[in-house]
Amino acid sequence: MKLPKMTKRYCPKCKKSTEQKIDLYKSSGKRSSLSFGSIIRAKKRGLGTGTGNLGKWGSKPAISKWKRTGAKQSKKSTLKYTCKECKKSTQQSGGFRAKKFEFK
Ligand SMILES: [Zn+2]
């Protein structure tokens, strides 16, 4: 999908519509220091199993993410709008799905 580099949009700081630059946020969330594969290998060795707070080994399900691979071909966008006048940036609410994002 093609997107323009600049757009006119309402800026909540300036309280009027201004020229704003569009950027794309990285669509995935923050990566943890441990990759998903290394958590699985650690579980096989017996690390991060048991009761109580597991620290860095906890808070993630063991398999579920791999089962879902290939479920969707497109990714949801998060656009960043940077105001030209006050240099404040706002995030797009909602977002839409597309395979690829391009700036004209
Ligand atoms: Zn502004």
Where do the domains of the chain lie?
1-27+75-94
- Intervals of the chain under pLDDT 50: 31
Predicted pLDDT of residue 66: 62
Centre of ligand 1 to C-alpha 15, Å, is 7
Centre of ligand 1 to C-alpha 30, Å, is 27
Q: What is the pLDDT of residues 1-28, one digit of tens each?
A: 898 999 999 999 999 999 999 988 765 5
Q: Which distant-in-sequence residues (6+ apart) come within 8 Å of 91 by Cβ?
A: 25, 78, 79, 80, 81
Contact present, 44 and 34 (Cβ < 8 Å):
no
Centre of ligand 1 to C-alpha 84, Å, is 7
Predicted pLDDT of residue 72: 79
- Mean pLDDT rounded to a whole number for the chain: 80
Contact present, 104 and 7 (Cβ < 8 Å):
no
Centre of ligand 1 to C-alpha 21, Å, is 11
